[in-house]
Chain A
Amino acid sequence: MIEKTAQNWGEIIDAVYRTESRRVLATLIRLLGDFDIAEEALHDAFRAALEQWPRDGVPDNPRAWLVSAGRFKAIDAIRRNARFDALDDVPEQTDPSTEDGIALDTENVEDDQLRLIFTCCHPALAPDAQVALTLREICGLTTEEIAHAFLIAPTTIAQRIVRAKAKIRDARIPYQVPSRAELPDRLDSVLRVIYLVFNEGYSASAGTSLTRHDLSAEAIRLGRLLMELLPEPEVIGLLALMLLHESRRAARTSPAGEVILLDDQDRSRWNRDQISEGTALVERALSSGLAGPYSIQAAISAVHANARQAAETDWTEIVGLYDVLMRTDPSPVIELNRAVAVAMRDGPSAGIVLIDAILDRGDLADYRLAHAARAELCRRLGRNADARASFQQALGLTRQETERRFIERRLAELPK
């Protein structure tokens, strides 16, 4: 047997931390009934592992060991602090077999992870609190990492997390997987959080985007975890959608960080592995017959992803999918996207008519992409004055640097 050095042990325990810490935390929250106490317990458990494992060896079931160690330390700490009233707060053990750390079968642990996901994304919490809590508790990001990714002060993120935990405690948001009847609504909330995290990373510009890109990876990881635990059609659809969007990352900005539109992207730079995985998932989600908005959007993305050249895009199929989307999840933004697809199928004029109808109704007047799309279609028809006016409206509404440069470039290219 190879003698392990202290450094080896540090690495071994680090590796266990990476793979197990979130699962152990999820179970400790159930056992201890409090996020803060559970987090403290988690750290105590790993501290104990660092002391004992080099002496006694790695236990057969490190996860069970860590859970019992954490639980024991937490209860011990509560007793030692002589907070007798707090003893009542430690929930009575619902499952006595956990006394020996045995009730850690796969199902239980998976349920704990789902409990944690549904609690962090509970609709009683504000959306930005859901996001912060999810990244902190489920993904294990530090407050600083979250703050950096969202370009927000760490104190703000810390405050959101503290408030969210207080609300979970005070309003007694339960640590449980919602019932079948409540699941669709509650799952929506979880999917929204994951997609929000993804988009935050995806819409980031190049250059400063390194850490923000991690958010997309984190969202895809969350999507995979959720699919493993709860393979509902829309969970599969969302993962597909994220993978298909992500497959175009390398092609969607130039080395200088300029936006490259779908039509102009070098499709050889699209990630084929992500496309085939995403496409297979779309098929799986659609075959359930219960496909919702995420699955259909993923299907649209798959049509693009599987066209070797922009000119080969099956726009009829895409318009058809937007029609389905308009029936299940109507919104002016979907209507706008449909209008652009119609323009691609039937020519720019047909698209302009549809976009003008949306704008005339008063919808999307402040939505920069509505004006940008209109401008682009006018440009293709040679209606340069109309194109210029719409580009200028879009420019006034954009707050993103790369987008601003893109529109300015388009404006400069317009014939006088």
Chain B
Amino acid sequence: MKYLCLICADPSAMMEFMSPADSEKHFNEYRQFTETIRKNGQYLACNRLLPPASAITVRVRNGNVSTTDGPFAETKEQLGGYYLIEARDQDDAIRIGSGIPGARFGCVEIRPVAEDIETLEALGLAAAQS
């Protein structure tokens, strides 16, 4: 089963604001973690996001596109990156997710990926499943 691990943190704690030494250390931790889950066959995808200041939020209402500056929610913790992992079950996902280096600074939200047939078909993923 697939789980998306959303890495959230206070934007001021994100990579861009770390000292070069700290961010190098942090990158190394991510390198190791990613290598480990790749080896364990738990890795599906991952990305780091640029800080929320770089975000733009798009809405379409009555056919009109409106854009607003910044992330959609002004919360303290913001999405900074993600891993898509393959885990046996929720406990397995918690085990893997707790290894993400960012979990020690911010938090990691773990969400199961919907894999019902309607979703898979709508997203053009059904064939890949069977």
Contacts and interface: CB of A to CB of B under 8 A. Distances in A.
A171 interface: yes
A174 B89 contact: yes
The binding surface of chain B is classed by DSSP as helix
A176 B91 contact: yes
Contact of A173 (B89, B95, B117): B89
B112 interface: yes
A124 interface: yes
Nearest to A186: B91
B36 interface: no
Interface residues of A, number: 11
Interface in B75-130: 88-92, 94-95, 112, 117
Contacts of A182: 91, 95
A170 B90 CA distance: 10
B95 to A, nearest CB: 8
Contacts of A176: 91
Contact of B91 (A85, A170, A174): A174
The CB with the most chain A CB atoms within 10 A, among B90, B92, B117, is that of B90
A178 interface: yes
Contacts of B94: 124
Please indicate which of the listed interface residues B89, B92, B95 has the most CB atoms of chain A within 10 Å of its own CB. B89
Nearest to B91: A174
A171 B91 contact: no
Interface in A166-190: 170-174, 176, 178, 182
Nearest to A185: B94
Contacts of B18: none
Contacts of B49: none
A176 B92 CA distance: 12
Contacts of A178: 91
Contact of A174 (B88, B112, B117): B88
B58 interface: no
Contacts of A174: 88-92
Contacts of A172: 1, 89-90, 112
Interface string B1-13: 1000000000000
Contacts of B1: 172
Interface string A83-97: 001000000000000
Contacts of B95: 182
Contacts of B88: 174
A124 B92 CA distance: 13
A170 B91 CA distance: 13
Nearest to A85: B117
B13 to A, nearest CB: 25
A178 B90 CA distance: 12
A85 B116 CA distance: 11
A335 B117 CA distance: 55
A172 B85 CA distance: 14
A122 B90 CA distance: 10
5 contacts: A171-B90, A174-B88, A174-B89, A174-B90, A178-B91
Given A85-B117, A172-B1, 15 more contacts: A122-B90, A124-B90, A124-B94, A170-B112, A171-B90, A171-B112, A172-B90, A172-B112, A173-B89, A173-B90, A174-B88, A174-B89, A174-B90, A174-B92, A182-B91
The 3 closest A-B pairs by CB, nearest first: A174-B89, A172-B89, A173-B90
